[in-house]
């Protein structure tokens, strides 16, 4: 029930914030902040709460399972285990960050902006706890419209193109997901005669090799676009760069994570055999992504695009971890998801503040900001180091665990990935060097008071505190997700023996 409350609070908060904007813009922002704060408090409560009894394997801390469309076996089934709780916490933290980062960034149509933001967050919450595949798809699609409007209405100059591109890419991927879900549904229906979309009913569905491949590809297409995996990443740089600051924070901090979450939660357990065959290719794509993202990132002169490309690189690490399929690597992927969500979200927020100070995102026209705005410089330094993977900060734990786990799966690719990670150092340093050091053309005539105000300092300090805490004591997070990750890696490892698989369809033997 608490999960329904979370989504409900965000939806109602969106409407309330819109209504409050008639009174004053600040009122609207406070309402939005309160709604996201309430979500975070509920998520913290879930984190501490004991497991509830369910009919399904796993350690679930909250569950609702209501009939929705009975005749088709679609249920309103929301359940949260360790992975879900961590994702909900991330929604809360990044959501607060997004509201705070928009405080001085969004000045017109404030009510509608916060409405869209909170509805996007609500859909994200739903996607992270939906355990009915159709309900997951429902939330997966539902988040697109508010995000589209956020980019379209408050974005930069090429916003219209970026918004439509973002929508088209994700929607096409999403439709392949739907076809895959339907394929799975009919396989199950043909075998048992029961219509159901519930994950637990479909999870050990025996299927021929060809069927598993095709259905798995449908799922993979959707999540690969969201993550994004390199050949289908085209929407990301534009969407992230053109979106308003709050939109970029949500996109990088949460929306990309839906792809990672989908791979972890659905792809690995549902198609253990096909995933084994896909793994080498996916891991190669991951290494390519790490390298490509890093190189592209270094080549950017636009601060936001630089951060956007660095996301591709980091998501490559997540992909590598997921397809290594052992507990260590999966835990590493989970930590990377959280660490990247917070650190990149904060970097985008910081980019927004730099833009407010300098009036540009072009790094060529910046420089010497440290003297003027030491707070921004200090925060940027820590965040850039987090992005590099400096020990003591959260990203290091994630990358380290992923590499450890990946070594078991493929030493060669691990060496390549580790090499690629080194390439990622320069782009982080480039931020510090070009933006904060050196002599800027505009540094002298910058407004003194435009730097981070108290709210923004608290926000950046909070993000840095989380990164340091995760970096020094990741055990709290690792313990939360351990049970769920063990289940995932067990499901992926104990694939039914080949002779238990249904007879192959004719022609499926190649």
Partner 1 sequence: MTPQDFIALGPLLAVALGAIAALLSIGVRRRPRAAFAICGLGLAAGLAAIVPAWRVAPRAVTGLLVVDGYALFFTGLVLAAAMAVLVLSAGYLRGRGEHAEEYCVLLMLATLGACVLTASTHFASFFLGLELLSVPLYALMAYGRTQRPNIEAALKYLILAGVSSAMLLMGMALVYADLGSLSFAHIFADVAQSTEPMPWFLAGAALILTAVAFKLALAPLHFWAPDVYQGAPAPVTAYVATVSKGAVLALALRYFGPLLAAGEPARVPLAFLAVASMFVGNLIALRQENVKRLLAYSSIAHMGYLLVALLAAPNAVTAVAFYLAAYFATMLIALGVLVVLSRPGAEAQTLDDVRGLAWRRPWLAAAMTAALLSLAGMPLTAGFFGKFYVLLAGSGAGLWGLVIVMVINSALGLYYYLRVVAALFASAEQPVPAAAPLVPLPWAGAVVLAALVGVLVWLGTYPAPLIQMIRLLTAGAN
Residues near partner 1, by CB under 8 A = 67-72, 134, 138-139, 141-142, 144-145, 148-149, 152-153, 160, 163-164, 167-168, 171-172, 175-176, 178-179, 182-183, 185-186
Closest to 467 measured CA to CA, from 412, 385, 404, 400? 385
Smallest gap, in angstroms, from Cβ of residue 214 to partner 1? Answer: 8
Cα distance between residue 251 and residue 242, in whole Å: 11
Cα distance between residue 315 and residue 199, in whole Å: 25
Would you say 27 or 179 has its CB closer to partner 1?
A: 179
Smallest gap, in angstroms, from Cβ of residue 186 to partner 1? Answer: 6
Three-state secondary-structure class, residue 476: helix
Cα distance between residue 85 and residue 138, in whole Å: 20
Smallest gap, in angstroms, from Cβ of residue 340 to partner 1? Answer: 27
* Angle (CA) 352 312 419, round 5°: 120
Would you say 274 or 403 has its CB closer to partner 1?
A: 274
Would you say 67 or 411 has its CB closer to partner 1?
A: 67
Closest to 33 measured CA to CA, from 145, 141, 160, 121? 121
Would you say 173 or 272 has its CB closer to partner 1?
A: 173
Smallest gap, in angstroms, from Cβ of residue 263 to partner 1? Answer: 21
Cα distance between residue 71 and residue 212, in whole Å: 26
Would you say 9 or 43 has its CB closer to partner 1?
A: 9
Would you say 175 or 381 has its CB closer to partner 1?
A: 175
Q: Backbone phi, then psi, for 215, in 5-degree steps?
A: -65, -40
Would you say 178 or 276 has its CB closer to partner 1?
A: 178
Taken in order 141, 145, 147, 151, the sign of the CA dihedral is positive
Would you say 28 or 351 has its CB closer to partner 1?
A: 28
SS3 content of the chain, % helix, strand, coil (to 5): 75, 5, 20
User: What's the Cα-to-Cα distance from 56 to each of 52, 134, 361, rounded to whole Å?
Assistant: 11, 18, 50
User: What's the Cα-to-Cα distance from 274 to each of 136, 269, 489, rounded to whole Å?
Assistant: 22, 10, 14
Can you say how many angstroms the Cα of residue 168 is from the centroid of all Cα atoms in its chain? 19
Would you say 136 or 396 has its CB closer to partner 1?
A: 136
Helix (H) or strand (E) holding 439: none
**Which residues share a beta bridge with 416?**
none
Per the CB < 8 A criterion, the answer to whether 374 and 417 are in contact is: no
Residue 15, judged by CB atoms within 10 A of its CB (0-12, 13-18, 19+), counts as middle
Can you say how many angstroms the Cα of residue 464 is from the centroid of all Cα atoms in its chain? 18
Per-position DSSP letters for 359-373, written without gaps between them: S--BGGG---HHHH-
Smallest gap, in angstroms, from Cβ of residue 422 to partner 1? Answer: 39
Would you say 71 or 494 has its CB closer to partner 1?
A: 71
User: What's the Cα-to-Cα distance from 270 to each of 60, 203, 206, 367, 496, rounded to whole Å?
Assistant: 19, 5, 10, 50, 12
Three-state secondary-structure class, residue 208: coil
Would you say 138 or 469 has its CB closer to partner 1?
A: 138
Smallest gap, in angstroms, from Cβ of residue 61 to partner 1? Answer: 26
Smallest gap, in angstroms, from Cβ of residue 454 to partner 1? Answer: 32
Smallest gap, in angstroms, from Cβ of residue 140 to partner 1? Answer: 9
Smallest gap, in angstroms, from Cβ of residue 149 to partner 1? Answer: 7
Per the CB < 8 A criterion, the answer to whether 353 and 429 are in contact is: no
Give the contacts of 217 (CB within 8 A, at least 6 positions apart): 176, 180
Smallest gap, in angstroms, from Cβ of residue 182 to partner 1? Answer: 5
Closest to 131 measured CA to CA, from 187, 206, 55? 55
Taken in order 64, 67, 69, 73, the sign of the CA dihedral is positive
Smallest gap, in angstroms, from Cβ of residue 150 to partner 1? Answer: 11
Would you say 163 or 366 has its CB closer to partner 1?
A: 163
Smallest gap, in angstroms, from Cβ of residue 153 to partner 1? Answer: 6
Smallest gap, in angstroms, from Cβ of residue 483 to partner 1? Answer: 31
Would you say 153 or 317 has its CB closer to partner 1?
A: 153
């Amino acid at each position: 029930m608490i999960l329904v409350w979370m989504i409900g609070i965000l939806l109602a908060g969106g409407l309330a914030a819109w209504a409050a904007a008639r009174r004053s813009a600040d009122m609207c922002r406070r309402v939005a902040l309160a709604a996201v704060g309430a979500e975070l408090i509920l998520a913290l409560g879930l984190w501490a709460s004991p497991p509830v009894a369910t009919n399904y394997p796993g350690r679930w801390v909250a569950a609702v399972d209501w009939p929705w469309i009975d005749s088709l076996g679609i249920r309103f089934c929301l359940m949260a285990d360790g992975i879900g709780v961590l994702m909900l916490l991330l929604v809360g933290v990044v959501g607060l960050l997004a509201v705070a980062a928009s405080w001085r960034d969004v000045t017109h149509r404030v009510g509608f902006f916060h409405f869209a933001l909170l509805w996007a967050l609500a859909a994200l919450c739903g996607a992270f706890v939906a355990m009915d595949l159709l309900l997951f798809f429902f939330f997966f699609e539902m988040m697109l419209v508010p995000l589209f409007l956020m980019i379209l209405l408050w974005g930069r100059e090429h916003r219209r193109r970026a918004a439509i591109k973002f929508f088209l890419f994700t929607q096409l991927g999403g439709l392949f997901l739907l076809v895959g879900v339907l394929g799975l549904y009919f396989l199950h229906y043909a075998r048992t005669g029961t219509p159901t979309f519930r994950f637990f009913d479909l999870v050990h569905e025996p299927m021929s090799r060809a069927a598993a491949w095709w259905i798995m590809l449908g799922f993979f297409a959707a999540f690969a676009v969201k993550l994004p995996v390199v050949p289908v990443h085209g929407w990301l740089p534009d969407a992230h760069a053109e979106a308003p600051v709050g939109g970029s924070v949500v996109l990088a901090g949460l929306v990309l994570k839906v792809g990672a979450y989908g791979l972890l939660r659905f792809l690995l357990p549902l198609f253990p055999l096909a995933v084994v065959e896909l793994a080498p290719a996916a891991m190669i794509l991951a290494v390519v992504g790490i390298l490509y993202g890093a190189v592209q990132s270094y080549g950017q002169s636009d601060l936001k695009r630089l951060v956007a490309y660095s996301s591709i690189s980091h998501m490559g690490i997540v992909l590598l971890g997921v397809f290594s399929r052992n507990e260590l690597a999966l835990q590493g992927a989970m930590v990377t998801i959280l660490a990247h969500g917070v650190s990149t979200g904060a970097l985008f927020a910081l980019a927004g503040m730099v833009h407010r100070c300098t009036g540009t995102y072009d790094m060529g026209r910046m420089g010497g900001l440290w003297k003027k705005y030491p707070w921004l410089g200090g925060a940027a330094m820590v965040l850039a180091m987090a992005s590099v993977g400096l020990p003591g900060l959260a990203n290091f734990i994630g990358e380290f665990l992923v590499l450890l786990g990946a070594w078991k799966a493929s030493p060669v690719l691990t060496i390549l990935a580790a090499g690629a990670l080194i390439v990622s150092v320069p782009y982080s340093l480039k931020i510090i060097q070009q933006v904060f050091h050196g002599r800027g053309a505009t540094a002298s005539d910058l407004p003194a008071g435009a730097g981070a105000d108290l709210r923004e300092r608290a926000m950046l300090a909070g993000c840095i505190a989380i990164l340091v805490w995760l970096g020094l004591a990741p055990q709290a997070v690792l313990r939360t997700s351990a049970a769920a990750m063990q289940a995932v890696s067990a499901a992926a490892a104990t694939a039914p023996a080949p002779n238990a698989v249904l007879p192959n369809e004719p022609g499926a033997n190649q």
